[in-house]
Chains A and B, each alone.
Chain A
Amino acid sequence: MAGLYIHVPFCERRCIYCDFYFVTTVRSHAPFVAALQAEIAHYGSEYGQREPLKTIYFGGGTPSRLSAPDLESILNTVATHFDTSAVEEVTLELNPDDASITYLRALRAMGVNRLSIGIQSFFEDDLTFMNRSHSQVQARGVVDAARTAGFDNFSIDLIFGLPDQPPEYWGANLERAVGMEVPHISTYSLTVEPRTVLANQVQRGLVSELPDETVSERYLFTMEYLEDRGYEHYEISSFSRPGARSVHNTAYWRHENYIGLGPAAHSFWWTGLPAQRWANVRNLRTYEALVQDGQMPLDFRERLLLDDLANEHIMLSLRTSDGIDMDHLEQRYGVDLLDEKLDDIARLENGGLLEPVTARTLKLTRKGRTVCDSVVQRLVL
């Protein structure tokens, strides 16, 4: 079973922190949709019959910038070229300002059964700071609208650690999300990525990042608050009510196969060694031109051997509450981690960063999650 990711590179405007690929120019979406459909056909002929799809995910950018007819025709093309009989999750990333009831109903009708809503904050000044395209009112109304349109499975994104954000805002954001019984919450600490507006502001001294201590405290508070209220912290940035985990994202963390389409989209395919990862070019016009010309719009392709895959698995599985299963690591990746890293594991356990789930499974503690990358660094080979 494979995942299909579709990158929609359109945004109404640029959020100051975003380093995903998108364009904000107002233009016709037709050339993109046409190119995407050509790419779907191409991959469908190559991969479509190998594994049936389990999930489809529209990410971005802002997929909700596409009209319902455009999205429907894309889904139809997917159904033509891939086996979609077993698809259990079709997610679309949605901005609150695109969430009209009509649009939401159309999405539901064409088979989208999960929304990932970019709320980020329920406070106007936060939204202004981030240069989001939606308002506080839209942020507060979108969940009801989604439910009214028939969505019971959805996630909202919330960002914490904004500079100058009053400390009580974050608690209030979580409280509101929990109060609305949102089934899934993704929480991100604001990250200054290179070559973003935010990075520029930081560099020029207009914005100062919060100290690590403060961000770490807010993250720990988030874990405690949401877990106390019945959410499962099943991945570093992901909290869900029972049964509401993201099936598509979970596949990334489990080394399941996925095909990414659209500019800057990433793919992974592992049936025999070497496994392959590849990505499309990060430029819409180049992407369209290459696809229309019958060429692969490739940015890079890399081949991974078992060592690389083992390290990836350690890195990815440690981010999840399932943790690292030593038996699985040994069987699928040929690595005996207890043998290789016994001292490090003991030190990390004693230091309260790692804990056993079972005798042969380890996961990060809450404290461990705040320094996840360093722990991973210690455990990779």
Chain B
Amino acid sequence: MELLRPGPLPLLLVIIGALMITGAMLSSPSQRAGVPAVLGFLALGLIGGGLGLRESLFHSYSSYFNLGTVGLVLILFDGGLNTPTTLLNRGLLPASLLATVGVISSSALCAICGWMLGLPWKQAFLLGAIVAPTDAAAVFPILRGSGLQLKRRIAMTLELEAGLNDPVAVALTISLSQALAFRRPFSLAAATAIPVALMLGALIGILVGYSGRLLLQQARLFAGGLYPIMTIALALLAFGLAALLQGSGFLAVYVASLVLGNSRLPYHAGILRVHDATAWLSQIGLYLMLGSLPNPSELLAVAPAGIAVALFLALVARPISVALCLLPLRYPMSEIFYIGWVGLRGAIPIVLATYPVLIGAPGALSMFKVVFFIVLVSTLIPGATVRWLTAILGLQTDERPAPPAVLELVSTRVLTGAEIASFTIDQSSAACGARISDLPLPQESTLILLIRDSELIPPRGTTELRKDDHVYVLCRPEEKPLVHLIFGHPEED
């Protein structure tokens, strides 16, 4: 092992490279088997830790915390970029409740569990705050991989909740950790600062989002690749500015990305691709970090307590908190149960858990190991069951999964005029079985591409549309109603 100690960069890069390739490849076959990729990442992290990654890359918990925060910023930003505001309107109220009342209630319930297991109250509360936030990035790959389409309202609630619930948990974690480390009582003043921080975060997010949009639309950058650089910079700026002013950085990032994601940006498709990749990189990196940090032998010592808290969280605290928030909004029981069940924990608790260690709060190190188990168990139980649960509760929609190919226009200019919409031809659609020349398309609409299985077909007047074909239609916004009437609902909305 001497050779692998800090120092030789080439060897370090070989190890990291190999872990990343294995990590990326893990994500698809493991989904099919029903076991989330997260487990594989954690196992790889343990291996990496054994190979000396711990000593050479992450010298201290502070580098974990800093790297982890940047990773979270990138994951959140990607989430916001892909959230359409049309769905935001419907999901905002339930998600905000879950992100505030839900986080506080599941922290408190978890604290009771921790206290019963022998933790002092403050530590128990801190643990509760750390493990409260959920992670949509952990849920969605599983669903996508299985070809299931979750009902929009549920998918939206889960995704928005995950985007919004970090700030409250972060604020709680920071003030509780400081109370512990500096032996201060946990003051009410700290608690009242949270709403102020949230408002400030939202405000700065809006500000960065809108001024960023203006900047992107006005700037004439030399190369397309520079546009994603601008958006990454905006993500970092939003977080940094908000945090400097004592506002919630995570909320600022999420709000800024919602604004930008719902704008017409130059090089839009390219920007989305890059952020997709940075989010994946962060995700894999965070799990590798979590896995590489503890010693496997030390882990075993806290296993019983860790698994107990994790089970309590998954089976009691989370479902009760979700019911508390969603019952008043008259969600059906099946949906409440489902949202309660799939509260997967991912990257956020990992980063949060490094904070108390960083400032020397008592008991923080063992708490970090407990978090390891919580992420593990909360991924294993709902992760392995989420697919059949979706089917049993009948919560999948009938919409078709994505087509085998996606047509995108990449341009460094903002394009105006007509838009491209894609449709799957269903048996019940009026266009099924029709020749293209028979389609009563509006004056300024054209069918531009037909995809059948994995074959690209140039559409001609005599081409007949069949069930399960994917068609791309270029049309003016005002002609959408008739186009929708002919084909059904577009795929990506």
Asked if A and B are interacting partners, one says no
Chain A residues within 8 Å of B, Cβ to Cβ: none
Chain B residues within 8 Å of A, Cβ to Cβ: none
